[in-house]
Amino acid sequence: MFKHFFICCVALFSMTSCQSQKESVEVMSHSVNQSELMNDRYMNDRPKLVVGIVVDQMRYDYLTRFYHKFGEGGFKRLIKDGFNCKNNHFNYVPTYTGPGHASVYTGTTPKYHGIIGNNWYDKTTKEMVYCAGDESVQSVGTTNNAGQMSPHRMLTTTFADENRLFTQMRGKTIGISLKDRGAILPAGHTANAAYWFHGQDEGVWITSTFYTSKLPKWVTDFNASKTAESYLKPWNTLYDIATYTESGSDENSFEGGFRWKETATFPYDLATLKDDNRGFDILKATPYGNSLTTDFAMAAIVGEDLGKDGTTDVLTVSYSSTDYVGHNFGVNSKEIEDTYIRLDKDLERFLNYLDTTVGAGEYTVFLTADHGAVDVPSYLQSVKIPAGYLNFSQTREALNDFMTTKYNDQRLVENISNDQLFLNRQLIDSLGLDILKVQEQLVTELIGYDHVSKVYSAHTMSTTNFTTGIESLLQNGFNQKRSGDVIMVSDIAYIPYGRTGSTHGSGLNYDTHVPLIFYGKGIRKGDTLKKTIISDIAPTLSALLGISFPNGSTGQPLEYVID
């Protein structure tokens, strides 16, 4: 009887177990099917093309200041139909072009990606190096050494690199900018190509052997079309200059202008001025440089078949002319207003072209800047706002006197650049000095100089964790192997520059507050005043694409941006 009961129990358990397994399999099958459906839907939601736009030296307030001068199809289209992050900032110092482009696309700061300036002093080779310079590669498209460039000094990947890895190199990456560093650093290490403009007496788009041994046909065809030459024409305001009420007077003492033109006033006859202003390079300092960049970017979309299949491609475009115009004429000039009005037209033209070639709703765009700019200090002085200019020759002279008095040797300071002092460590060792004490004695000395507001040693940057204020920004820009022994911070609106035109580089709002707009496939409509930082861009794009974050990324995805 017990045996019979046992057999019945086993049979019942077996039936229950089988039923349970069947239900479990069905649940798993349903779950897998649901997962596959979600994955299929997710993969179908990936944009065919991601276009990253960096506007060089664009302060956030250019969006609001010139808003009523913009048409409906450029900046306004991005703002109204995209997601506008109104309180977006750089979270490090220095705010220069090279570090800015690297940070946008790597999702981190110079502390990790290593691009600590446009140029910096190499402590090993004892010479200045350029962020994109590479003598191991050769120019392609010119015999000039302007093509000896690559991203080899950038230590981390970009989100474009991660997209290439994720797609088994099937997703293309193309970088475009008038500036070599504006094309090279965003595109990353694995880019199919990066192209930049070589002016002077050639006026052609070039690259380097890091990418290819010869220019593709579409590039040679573009160069042969003499498009660049077509822009050597008069530059006048697009609209009646009397309507340019968002900027200062056309003739003033705060602007640089072009050589052999008596005043920095409209109009500018570029064909006449070019021979005394580095030939085709004059285009860089006019809005026509942005138009030329747009022309070339549109040619690249067709020439490289970007956004033509189910694998996401990446196109990085940096508009450099805004920076050249800002440096030359200043942020309050008629020239800068006209440049942004015309850039708005170029953006409209570019977006319409993307609609036609890639397909409306099939691409994603983000637009930001690599830094802002300060109002011309001489202009600020004229309206009684504290501002001024730094005299580095006086600083160096005072520093030499100090080094002679204190150590009887001026050679202990090997280099001064990018607001940093680099010490001769070998000489310090040979003299039996303590490097940390020398650093701190220099800190104590420099803080007493005029218009120096803060000074920190490399030891402090390496051993103290700053979480707020300018100290935090300095630390995010400090790379222990590449940065100097002592870092200086100037007074607000005091710059090492001429008395005309604007510059940048600080951790102050005029340099850190820049636009950030996401638009297109996978992006919600809306805006926020929550603070975002520049290193959030790359992880946000990575999350949108479902790919790995760049390997050194420290930013966070902006989940409220993604639809």
What are the C-alpha distances in Å from 402 to residues 115, 254, 396, 398? 31, 35, 10, 6
The bridge status of strand 420-423 relative to strand 486-490 is: antiparallel
Angle, nearest 10°, between helix axes 321-329 and 334-354?
A: 170
CA angle (319, 528, 161) in 5-degree steps: 45
**Tokens found for residue 500:** 């005309």
Q: Element (H or E) spanning 203, and its range?
A: none
Positions annotated as catalytic residues are: 97
Rounded CA separation 527/550 (Å): 26
Rounded CA separation 194/439 (Å): 41
**Tokens found for residue 148:** 């000896």
CB 364 within 8 A of CB 544: yes
What percent of the residues of the chain are helix, what percent strand, and what percent coil, each to the nearest 5? Answer: 45, 20, 40
Name the nearest CA neighbour of 173 among 155, 185, 157, 190: 190
Q: What is the dihedral of CA 32, 33, 37, 40, to 10 degrees?
A: 60
Rounded CA separation 327/341 (Å): 18
In 463-552 the beta strands, taken as DSSP E runs, fall at: 486-490, 494-495, 516-520, 526-533
**Sign of the four-CA dihedral 406, 412, 415, 421:** negative
Q: Which residues pair with 128 in a beta bridge?
A: 121
What are the C-alpha distances in Å from 325 to residues 283, 284, 337, 500, 501? 10, 8, 10, 12, 9
Instruction: Find all residues with CB under 8 Å of 303, minimum gap 6, and list them.
Output: 216, 217, 218, 219, 222
Rounded CA separation 27/532 (Å): 42
